[in-house]
Structure 1
Amino acid sequence: MSHKWLNKDTLCGLVALTLFILTIPLSNWVVVNVGLICEPNGPCLIPVWPGVMAPSAVMIAGAALVLRNAVQAFLGAPFSLLAIAVGTALSALFASPSLVIASAAAFCFSELADFAVYTPMRRRFPAFSVVMAGLAGSVIDSAIFLSLAFGSIEFIGGQVLGKFWMSLLAGIVIRYMRLRLVAHAKF
């Protein structure tokens, strides 16, 4: 039996979708359980730059923004929007009661911002679109999550910086892969 729908792009998209969905409960657990410093009634913290701390789930949240872009690139915008809806619902289901609204709201609005920036740019500037969309999403995610979950945006600089590292890394990898494809096409 041939499965024409199951090709390399679909498989990559399904892997990205699965990882994207798994980032949600993982982020909610990590932010209150893992870090170099865990503050009472506050987030656990990790360094993202010398002297700059951020809530520990920052890298996972940054990866979520990148993975959502991958879902869209491989499976299309409708799957990406569906993934945002599922992710928002999972945020509400898997977050601790004190984080439910913060997690769901931050996730929903940051992923929609990422989608809005990434979509018009992705075909012409694939690597740049991932970095810029990640930056837009990270600012919105950080502001909403920190203010609702912890009543302070004290760590917003570290949050945005930590998520930016993930977007930048993804942009570099995408650029490298595209250059390799062009180089192989010339031979």
Structure 2
Amino acid sequence: MSVLPAPGRWWPPLSVTGVLATGFYLTAVAGANWASAHHLITLDGLAVPAGACIAGMVFIARDALHETLGSRGVLAAIGGGTALSAIVASPWIAAASAAAFAVSELADSWLYRRWRSRGRAAAITGSNLAGLLVDSAVFVSFAFGSWALLPGQLAGKAAATAVACPVLALWSWRREVAS
């Protein structure tokens, strides 16, 4: 007996790509929160929470989830990521992550759906930029009680997102061509 509802009106059919995207998303969320709780990187005087370098990948994985499993799949993955974070990170980091995801996902999902008609690249780029800014501001203020790490958080997430965005854009383009 499956834990998930049957594919159809309320849940899209599962695919290998959707399962892989979910696994990558959950791993990235848990890894980012664990790293944020345990490591700080200093780059030329800029303090970067180590999790920021991984967290940028979370936005890319989330966009892949949107494409394969839809909004409900993304919400289910956020719930799973929050649960994993509570296990691997400190309570402050896990709570900050949950709050940041809740706020940034609303902004990101709304923008992604709005900009999707302009093409996947526009939707991915615009929604990720908005999500990155909102998520970073909420996460840093709750997790660390200070804005001091915000510049490093933004730099780390931006770098990780810049590396991953072309990969997702290529995957999306190939998916569009194939369908």
- Coarse TM-score class (shorter-chain normalised): 0.7 to 0.9
1:40 aligns with none
Whether 1:30 and 2:59 are equivalent positions in the alignment is: no
Give the distance between the partners of 1:81 and 1:21, measured in 2 at CA. Answer: 12
Give the distance between the partners of 2:109 and 2:125, measured in 1 at CA. Answer: 12
8 A contact 1:138–1:159 mirrored in 2: no
Whether 1:17 and 2:11 are equivalent positions in the alignment is: no
Whether 1:111 and 2:109 are equivalent positions in the alignment is: no
1:121 aligns with 115
Per-residue deviation, 1:62? 0.8
**Identity fraction in percent:** 36
Higher mean alpha-carbon deviation, 65-74 vs 23-32, is at 23-32
The SS at the match of 1:53 is strand
For each residue in 1:137-161, what CA deviation from the matched residue of structure 2 results, as whole angstroms up to 9, or x when unmatched?
1111111111111111112122122
The number of residues matched between the two structures is: 166
Aligned CA RMSD, in angstroms, stands at 2.7
1:39 aligns with none
2:4 aligns with none
Bigger Rg, structure 1 or 2: 1
For each residue in 1:81-128, what CA deviation from the matched residue of structure 2 results, as whole angstroms up to 9, or x when unmatched?
222233233333432133232122122222332222212223532122
Gaps (5+ residues) in structure 2?
1-6, 8-13
The one of the two structures with greater contact order (alpha-carbon pairs below 8 A, sep at least 6) is 2
| TM-score, structure 2 normalization | 0.77
Name the one with the larger helix percent.
2
Aligned CA distance change for structure 1 residues 98 and 126 (closer, same or farther; 3 Å): same
